[in-house]
Chain A
Amino acid sequence: MTVLPADLDVGFELPELSEQHITRTLLVRFAGASGDHNPIHLDPGAARSVGLDDVIAHGMLSMGLLGRLLTAWVPVGDLLSFRVRFSAPTPVHARLRCTARVRAIEPHGAGRRARLSLAVRIVDGPLTVRGEALIRLPEPPPAPVRADREGARA
């Protein structure tokens, strides 16, 4: 895991994941891994029966990719909350961009936390997921001790 910069500030963007290609194979594998066997992700006939052109990706696949982006930068134990809203379907063969940006830094108990805006977009297409995560930040580095202070000489 990489670490966030100590001077993390509002506007910082976590380095993006590479573009994620949503293949049929990935949807089948994710169904097995996640336990979500809804046929609209697996069976084109089932997808067409509810008015779709073809299968669509699991919403939780996109959320899982956002989770992967977060935990590449943040220790999983520092993740306080994580929520998303799915706003558009992700068709099979889409390529996804997953992004996370620091929107605010706030007090949290004795320390601080960062509020991140999260998004998943189809390359050359719409935003499909919008969300937010709260992460506990490590203590900021201690302020430099002034050399002329009494206590610093001992």
Chain B
Amino acid sequence: MIDPSWVGAGPKPFTVEVEAGRLRLFNQVLGVREAVFTDPAAARAAGHPDLPVPPTFLFGLELEHPSGQLAELGIDLGQVLHVEQGFVYHRTAHAGERLTFAPVVTDIYTRQGGALEFVVRDTAVTGAGGEPVADLHQVIAVRHGVRDEEGA
């Protein structure tokens, strides 16, 4: 079981750079072809300072950071199901920016007699000036010896 004292706390905030090459790869794999996402000149012509970040990209920046996987809570990645994901956007993020992620565990609860444990995490993403960029909301389920469940 996960220590319930994590509620209201989280891993330390961390800062990562949005790399243009990473954006290109992400868009290529998803099949995004609009020039505004792939060509900096087209992005600038559309009023962006550089390539804009596509809607779900920030999730990966959080996940791949060591603090983003909730390992500190003792969660085994192989037992995790992604149940919900949400984004609220305050402004578009762009290539070359340094973004700060501040994750907070906002709830932990069990279902099915403890076989499934849910962890809710809310992460505020801010720009270099501390201004809000996006809020990420994630619900994961951790299986404790359960074989056949919902989720992805």
Contact = CB atoms under 8 A, between A and B. Distances in A.
A76 B85 contact: no
A57 B80 contact: no
Interface in A77-98: 77, 79-90
Interface in A34-65: 34-36, 38-40, 46, 49-51, 56-65
Contacts of A36: 60, 63-64
Contacts of A70: 55
B88 to A, nearest CB: 5
B147 A60 contact: no
Interface residues of B, number: 45
B103 to A, nearest CB: 15
Interface in B114-136: none
B37 A63 contact: no
A128 to B, nearest CB: 7
A1 interface: yes
B58 to A, nearest CB: 11
Contact of B37 (A57, A71, A80): A71
Nearest to B87: A82
Given A1-B36, A71-B37, A77-B52, A65 B89 contact: no
B150 A87 contact: yes
A34 B52 contact: no
Given A34-B63, A75-B46, A81-B89, A86 B82 contact: yes
A50 B143 contact: yes
Interface residues on chain A, size class:
35 or more
B80 A38 contact: yes
Given A30-B29, A38-B80, A72-B34, A81 B86 contact: yes
Contacts of A32: 25, 29
Nearest to B23: A33
A29 interface: yes
B54 A60 contact: no
A1 B30 contact: no
Which of A26, A35, A67, A75 is most buried by chain B, counting CB atoms within 10 A of its CB? A35
Given A33-B29, A50-B79, A71-B32, A59 B152 contact: yes
A78 to B, nearest CB: 9
Contacts of A20: 31
Given A34-B63, A85-B84, 17 more contacts: A32-B29, A33-B30, A36-B60, A40-B78, A60-B82, A63-B59, A67-B55, A76-B37, A76-B53, A83-B85, A83-B137, A86-B82, A87-B150, A87-B151, A88-B150, A88-B152, A90-B152
19 contacts: A26-B29, A33-B29, A34-B59, A34-B63, A39-B77, A39-B78, A50-B78, A59-B152, A63-B85, A65-B30, A68-B54, A76-B55, A82-B86, A83-B84, A83-B87, A84-B86, A86-B81, A88-B152, A89-B151
